[in-house]
A and B are shown apart, each in its own frame.
Chain A
């Protein structure tokens, strides 16, 4: 190709700089001969080669960068999640350095979270699905699996308690400097605004401070994660493991915390059951919305909807166990990692299992409260 004009136009086209006239001109010029056309195609093909980035190295580089930021007094979270959508494609990678950029010594530091906080709450008499107890110092409300309950706290705050959950507060609730409750399990809060008396929820791994807002907290001790999802207002989340650091959530965000790190935490954390949370200890994510609705999955249970999107069967099974008060047993382990989508509103257990089987193909057998998956 000796026609320089073609090369100029081609370069413009590939860089996205060509006007429509120029594109047209390029078309005509390249149509002059099959040779030219072929060359144009070939060039376009290797221009678009994108080997893809090595995100592991970038992660390490980022950690090193954070260390430098710390030296200047900026303490950023080491593991905010980077969604795939946020990584803009770029096939360039930093040139590896040996100097004073501390890439090597920074790997994911293991943070181990422990402690089970339990609480007691004071409460009005409730239907039998909910157990309420009062002691001299505090009161407690608990729900068993298969039941959900709505509670009114002394300050007017509404709390929806999901199955298998317990909430406690002391008699100081109304009089102390702040309003404090303790939660295991899952609850949805609609907190009455009171700037003078912040509302604080304690769970095993995190404390959530609230001014007046609607949000969901999921802190089942047997779960892999503890989550706070914000619908409206604003909350601040403090990790028990690092109280100096606080995370502020905006509406429609949720914070997900891994409860335990696996043994090989020093290397890349790959959790097959939660691939989206694979490399992070703490993540802030947007809420998931049921397709075609404006109901977020995280608090859909308060509307008596059990929903899950792209969750592994084993995680869904946990949800269903609490929802229906049953026990799952995976006879064939391979189904544990099967990804499921669904939402159930009034379906019975049998109907739900039928629907799931239809879309996935596993076999099951229900024996009383036990469900076996083949």
Chain B
């Protein structure tokens, strides 16, 4: 992978989007799936707290991508579009399943998935990753979500703000809190971080 592409996943998504829309390229579609499905599923999971539901939601979204492949280029920002779709679908399913009151950022159960981490990573690195994971887990729910969307799903501040109905300033603030808390947690051996 060229380093330019690695640093610019949005460009790659645009490329793949083009391939799917214009050539109905199944290879590109699969690549889109590989990139987007995990993020979408995890995001849906944070709202629905159901693995089964979140998988269906993510799969439905990607199915839609194929169904509307001929009009796919009309979508400016595919990633954000799908995330918003995931949010709506997740909230709707929540309502349907009567899983609780209105969706609010504080009700989220965000998970940092470490089950499928590449086992070939060195033990040292692994330990660090686990420490970070634990620290992230201890972040307040909305802070945690924002951290994940920024770091792992690589959404832009503007995109996160739009997705969660927040201001960019809030994103700035939340991320700075996240970094500070994780850094603090890493420096204190065996710390059990208190939620604040």
Contacts and interface: CB of A to CB of B under 8 A. Distances in A.
Nearest to B5: A85
Contacts of A15: 150-151, 154, 156-157, 175
A77 B115 contact: no
A25 to B, nearest CB: 14
Contact of B31 (A68, A82, A96): A82
B16 A86 contact: yes
A95 B45 contact: yes
Given A43-B183, A46-B128, A46-B132, A86 B117 contact: no
B118 interface: yes
Contact of B176 (A8, A47, A82): A8
B176 A11 contact: yes
Interface stretch (B6-14, B82-90, B97-105): B6-14
A76 interface: yes
A61 B63 contact: no
Nearest to A58: B34
Contacts of B9: 88-90
Given A11-B172, A94-B37, A95-B111, A88 B13 contact: yes
Interface stretch (A98-106, A119-127, A200-208): A98-106
B118 A92 contact: no
Interface in B78-134: 111, 113-118, 121, 125, 128-129, 132
Interface in A1-55: 1, 4, 7-8, 10-12, 14-17, 39, 42-43, 46-47, 49, 51-55
A89 to B, nearest CB: 6
Contacts of A80: 26-27, 29-30
B145 interface: no
Given A82-B27, A85-B5, A95-B54, A90 B38 contact: yes
A141 interface: no
Interface residues of A, number: 58
Given A11-B179, A15-B175, A80-B27, A92 B186 contact: no
A118 interface: no
A82 to B, nearest CB: 5
A82 B150 contact: no
Contacts of B188: none
Q: Which residue among A55, A72, A86, A250 has the maximum number of chain B CB atoms within 10 Å of its CB?
A: A86
A82 B34 contact: yes
A69 to B, nearest CB: 6
Interface residues of B, number: 66
A101 B52 contact: yes
A65 interface: yes
A307 B157 CA distance: 49
Contacts, number: 184
B118 A7 contact: no
Nearest to A49: B129
A87 interface: yes
A91 interface: yes
A16 B160 CA distance: 14
B117 to A, nearest CB: 4
Interface in B1-36: 1-2, 5-7, 9, 12-13, 16, 23, 26-31, 33-35
B52 A100 contact: yes
A287 to B, nearest CB: 14
A81 to B, nearest CB: 6
A51 B175 contact: no
A43 B179 contact: yes
Interface string B166-196: 0000001101111110110010000000000
Interface string B129-166: 10010000000000000000011111011000000000
A61 B5 CA distance: 25
Contacts of B178: 11
Contacts of A76: 26, 29, 66
A93 B113 contact: yes
A85 B23 contact: no
A288 B133 CA distance: 42
A276 to B, nearest CB: 14
Contact of B51 (A47, A68, A89, A95): A95
B118 A62 contact: no
B159 to A, nearest CB: 11
A250 B23 contact: yes
A8 B172 contact: yes
Which 10 pairs of residues, A with B, have the shortest CB-CB distance? A99-B52, A7-B176, A86-B31, A11-B175, A51-B117, A93-B116, A52-B118, A80-B27, A54-B116, A92-B38
Interface of B: 1-2, 5-7, 9, 12-13, 16, 23, 26-31, 33-35, 37-39, 41-42, 45, 51-52, 54-56, 58-59, 62-63, 66-67, 111, 113-118, 121, 125, 128-129, 132, 150-154, 156-157, 172-173, 175-180, 182-183, 186
Given A81-B27, A86-B16, 10 more contacts: A4-B176, A11-B179, A15-B151, A15-B175, A51-B118, A62-B34, A80-B27, A90-B39, A94-B55, A99-B51
15 contacts: A11-B179, A15-B175, A17-B156, A53-B116, A62-B34, A64-B59, A72-B63, A93-B116, A95-B45, A95-B51, A95-B113, A96-B115, A97-B54, A99-B52, A99-B56
